[in-house]
């Protein structure tokens, strides 16, 4: 039996970051991972391959607009070579997963290849059996960290067959550009793929059960995205319930009840089911150990301790006691891994403030947001002040030819505190970093106004939105 201070199950962005942080703090660490590569959902099926595809979509857009940019030599039919797209995307994924292997070697972390099962009866030390691959028993002297992540899930009435009714796992590998694709769900995954396939040339139809696209975002952001999607030829049905999806040959027959009471029938090459992801705990035998669970997720406290001593859990597989919703995001899993590792190593660390988690959606136009939406701020009883500034006024946006979108600041009138910042448009996924720091430092709107924003940048919109929140933007 091999002994370590910490044994992590799962090498996603939660597990591998927890392992590195624990090793940096002097602990001996092993990570059990059943996939052939390290990095989990984010690196292999999620953030990285999807954003690589989006960069291809962007490259295609620039070439399509070659004439406007004065680029010569790009005349003739412009298309996309999916074999080349996948080869480049796979090279990026491969390079990054190898990078995690390098970091493991650098930090003397053992990668145990195989599938883990929790054995023993909880408590410290805990034991894990690896029952496939490198079969063996591992003992964790201090703690086991469960970081087994999530997997796609469907909704009642829609059975994923992974051929025509597919998930994001298949969508990242489609060998050809579909003539048509329907997307079920308009969260980040749904709208990102809608943007990719539309730019590649597919007919795209989105079905969203809730009354608006990207329902977790501020309502103004949803409205702007709907407007932009419409302009770009993406059909969106909100308040629509898909009741039937059947694969017939090389297509899917879809039926949906629309918001206006009518029924819509649609035949598409594929139906991409993007209705969220469920926790992965099968085979771990956590039920036998009596870990407290909620709707399949492992319940943890603010320091990621489960109800069983010696077992922690982080990332997509958890629900945090006292928090309304736990965001399934790579950077959240990593931040949790760092907190858990520091606590296990006896370092002083602090709970995460989930109100300060930035969210990025890389659709076209892209979205960055952090903190409370206007509605949430009002529901929490704040006397709210709003400042909005459109990107279209900015020199930098005009130069880039990307004038859609805005920055919207939600602030509290009483103390002038910035409560949330919501943006849609060029570079929003980068600009949200400033907003995140502002929330972290409990900044006021006044402080954002006094922060000098370089010119010409998209970031000027943040300063201008702050001015707007105090009465008037300079350039409006």
Ligand X SMILES: Cc1cc2nc3c(=O)[nH]c(=O)nc-3n(C[C@H](O)[C@H](O)[C@H](O)COP(=O)(O)OP(=O)(O)OC[C@H]3O[C@@H](n4cnc5c(N)ncnc54)[C@H](O)[C@@H]3O)c2cc1C
Q: Which is nearer to ligand X, 49 or 390 (CB)?
A: 49
In the complex, the residues that contact ligand X under the rule CB under 6 A are 9-15, 32-35, 40-42, 45-47, 50, 115-116, 147-150, 168, 189, 280, 283-284, 315-316, 328-331, 333
Distance CA(301)–CA(333), nearest Å, equals 15
Which residue, 11 or 60, has its beta carbon nearer to ligand X?
A: 11
CB nearer ligand X, residue 332 or residue 438: 332
Asked if 237 is an active-site residue, the reply is no
Burial annotation 108-132 (CB, 10 A radius, 16+ → b, else e):
ebbbbebbbbbbbebeebbbbbbee
On the CB side of 397, CA atoms within 13 Å amount to: 22
Closer CB to ligand X, 45 or 304, in the complex: 45
Residues linked to residue 422 through DSSP beta bridges, in sequence order: 369, 408
Catalytic residue among 86, 257, 356, 455: 455
Q: Residue 392 CB: number of other CB atoms within 10 A?
A: 14
CB of 341 to ligand X, least distance (A): 13
447, 452, 454, 455: CA torsion to nearest 10: 100
Q: At what angle do helices 460-469 and 428-440 cross, to 10 degrees?
A: 50
CB of 420 to ligand X, least distance (A): 18
Rounded-to-10 torsion of CA 169, 174, 177, 179: -80
Q: How far is the CB of 449 from ligand X (least distance, A)?
A: 30
Task: Work out how close the CB of 327 gets to ligand X at its nearest, in angstroms, rounded to a whole number.
Answer: 8
Which residue is listed with tokens 């990095």? 39
Q: Which is nearer to ligand X, 116 or 289 (CB)?
A: 116
Nearest Cα residue to 149 out of 362, 322, 337: 337
Name the packing angle between helices 82-106 and 15-24 (round to 10°). 30
Smallest distance from the beta carbon of 378 to ligand X, in angstroms? 27
| CB-CB contact of 61 with 31 (8 Å) | no
Tell me whether residue 332 or residue 462 sits nearer to ligand X (CB atom). Answer: 332
The answer, yes or no, to whether the previous bond of 456 is cis (omega within 30 of 0) is yes
> Residue 259 corresponds to which tokens in the numbers above?
């918001």
Find out whether 40 and 16 touch, Cβ atoms under 8 Å: yes
Please, what is the minimum distance in Å from the beta carbon of residue 51 to ligand X?
A: 6
Closest approach of ligand X to the CB of residue 57, in Å: 15
Which of residues 209 and 329 has its CB atom nearest to ligand X in the complex?
329
Q: From CA 280, how far away is CA 283, in angstroms rounded?
A: 9
Q: How far apart are CA 14 and CA 334, in angstroms?
A: 4
**Residue numbers annotated as active site:** 455
């Amino acid at each position: 039996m091999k002994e370590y201070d910490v044994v992590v199950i799962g090498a996603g962005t939660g597990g591998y970051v927890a392992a590195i942080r624990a090793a940096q703090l002097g602990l001996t660490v092993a990570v059990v991972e059943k996939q052939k590569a390290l990095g989990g959902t984010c690196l292999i099926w999620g953030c990285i391959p999807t954003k690589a595809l989006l960069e291809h979509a962007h490259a295609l857009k620039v070439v399509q607009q070659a004439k406007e940019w004065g680029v010569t030599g790009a005349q003739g039919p412009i298309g996309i070579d999916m074999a080349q797209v996948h080869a480049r995307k796979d090279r990026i994924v491969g390079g990054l997963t190898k990078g995690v292997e390098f970091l493991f070697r650098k930090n003397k972390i053992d990668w145990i290849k195989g599938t883990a099962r929790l054995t023993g009866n909880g408590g410290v030390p805990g034991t894990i059996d690896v029952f496939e691959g490198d079969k063996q028993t591992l003992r964790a002297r201090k703690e086991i960290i469960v970081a087994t992540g999530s997997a796609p899930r469907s909704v009642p009435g829609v059975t994923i067959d992974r051929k025509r009714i597919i998930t994001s796992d298949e969508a990242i590998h489609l060998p050809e550009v579909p003539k048509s694709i329907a997307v079920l769900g308009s969260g980040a995954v749904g709208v990102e793929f809608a943007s990719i396939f539309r730019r590649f040339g597919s007919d795209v139809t989105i079905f969203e059960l809730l009354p608006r696209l990207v329902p977790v975002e501020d309502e103004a952001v949803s409205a702007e995205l709907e407007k932009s999607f419409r302009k770009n030829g993406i059909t969106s049905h909100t308040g629509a319930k898909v009741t039937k999806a059947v694969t017939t040959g090389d297509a899917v027959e879809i039926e949906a009840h629309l918001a206006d009471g009518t029924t819509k029938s649609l035949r598409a090459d594929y139906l991409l089911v993007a209705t969220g992801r469920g926790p992965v705990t099968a085979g771990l035998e956590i039920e036998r150990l009596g870990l407290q669970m909620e709707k399949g997720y492992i319940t943890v406290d603010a320091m990621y301790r489960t109800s069983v001593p010696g077992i922690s859990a982080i990332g997509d597989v958890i629900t945090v006691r006292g928090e309304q919703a736990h965001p399934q995001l790579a950077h959240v899993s990593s931040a949790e891994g760092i907190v858990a590792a520091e606590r296990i190593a006896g370092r002083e660390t602090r709970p995460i403030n989930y109100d300060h988690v930035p969210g990025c959606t890389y659709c076209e136009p892209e979205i960055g947001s952090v903190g409370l939406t206007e509605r949430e701020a009002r529901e929490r009883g704040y006397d709210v002040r709003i400042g909005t500034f459109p990107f279209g006024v900015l020199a930098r946006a005009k130069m880039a030819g990307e004038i859609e979108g805005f920055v919207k600041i939600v602030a509290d009138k009483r103390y002038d505190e910035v409560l949330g910042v919501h943006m849609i448009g060029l570079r929003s996924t980068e600009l949200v970093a400033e907003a995140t720091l502002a929330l972290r430092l409990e900044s006021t709107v006044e402080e954002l106004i006094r922060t000098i924003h370089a010119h010409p940048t998209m970031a000027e919109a943040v300063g201008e939105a702050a001015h707007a929140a105090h009465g008037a933007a300079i350039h409006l």
